[in-house]
């Protein structure tokens, strides 16, 4: 990518991040273009769909979560690794209002621009879950899809004003339901 094109691309991502942070996943593409001081056609030239924009916007954090899962696999006991990654995943889905719905839709749509990210996140969590299951510290009757669904649902739930004050308690309840021993030292470190 040429230097000027890269600069424009980075500017669009920065503006999109601000607009989406303010308005959630339903942010207007027109508003993003207007705030970036470009035409709508320019925005669509870089990001032909809303999902393509979100893929670019979220790619860095998705990569960080995948890398974190790899590191946790080798550095923490299985139950602690799973809970630590789950907490980071919940923080990620809370980043933007409405992201859960986009990932849930992308999960079942291989043509979605977000499908690869959704699949990669599920796979990273599934590896941690399988490791904990093999050691007997996580329930055997859930899989990576269930874990991803719980993470997404909890991220949405604690983003609601009526439940936000109970975030730590609810995190403990949910992770306690995932783990066979019902708790982990790391569970108590959650902060929502």
pLDDT band for 186, please (50, 70, 90 cuts). very low
From the list 184, 190, 191, the residue with the least C-alpha distance to 77 is 184
Model-level pTM greater than 0.95?
no
For the stretch 16-30, pLDDT in tens is 999 988 888 888 999
For the stretch 49-96, pLDDT in tens is 888 898 898 888 889 999 999 999 999 999 999 999 999 999 888 877
Checking if the pLDDT of 187 tops 50, the result is: no
Fold (topology level) of 1-48: Arc Repressor Mutant, subunit A (1.10.10)
- 6 or 81: whose pLDDT is higher? 81
pLDDT band for 189, please (50, 70, 90 cuts). low
- 1 or 127: whose pLDDT is higher? 127
**Cα–Cα distance for residue pair 98/24, rounded to 1 Å:** 6
CATH 1.10.10-classified regions of the chain:
1-48
CATH 1.10.357.10-classified regions of the chain:
50-189
Specify which residues 138 forms β-bridges with. 179
* pLDDT of 133: 97
Checking if the pLDDT of 99 tops 90, the result is: no
* pLDDT of 132: 97
Q: Please give the share of the chain, as a percent, with pLDDT higher than 90.
A: 55
**Cα–Cα distance for residue pair 32/27, rounded to 1 Å:** 8
As a whole number, mean pLDDT of residues 4-9 equals: 84
As a whole number, mean pLDDT of residues 124-149 equals: 95
Count of CA atoms in the C-beta half-sphere (13 A) of 103: 29
pLDDT band for 137, please (50, 70, 90 cuts). very high
* pLDDT of 112: 85
* pLDDT of 16: 93
- Residue 179, SS3? strand
* pLDDT of 183: 55
As a whole number, mean pLDDT of residues 92-101 equals: 78
Using an 8 Å Cβ cutoff, are 73 and 81 in contact? yes
Fold (topology level) of 50-189: Tetracycline Repressor; domain 2 (1.10.357)
């Amino acid at each position: 990518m040429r230097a000027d094109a890269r600069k424009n691309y980075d500017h669009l991502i920065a503006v999109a991040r601000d607009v989406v942070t303010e308005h959630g996943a339903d942010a207007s593409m027109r508003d993003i273009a207007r705030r970036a001081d470009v035409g709508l056609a320019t925005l669509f030239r870089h990001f032909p769909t809303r999902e393509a924009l979100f893929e670019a916007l979220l790619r860095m954090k998705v990569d960080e979560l995948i890398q974190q899962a790899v590191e946790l696999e080798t550095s923490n006991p299985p139950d602690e690794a799973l809970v630590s990654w789950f907490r980071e995943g919940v923080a990620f889905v809370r980043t933007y209002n409405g992201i859960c719905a986009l990932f849930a839709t992308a999960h079942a749509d291989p043509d979605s621009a977000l499908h690869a990210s959704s699949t990669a996140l599920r796979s990273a969590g599934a590896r941690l879950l399988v490791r904990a299951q093999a050691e007997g510290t996580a329930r055997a009757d859930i899989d990576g899809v269930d874990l991803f669904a719980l993470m997404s649902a909890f991220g949405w739930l604690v983003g609601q004003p009526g439940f936000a004050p109970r975030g730590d308690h609810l995190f403990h309840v949910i992770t306690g339901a995932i783990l066979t021993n019902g708790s982990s030292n790391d569970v108590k470190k959650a902060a929502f």
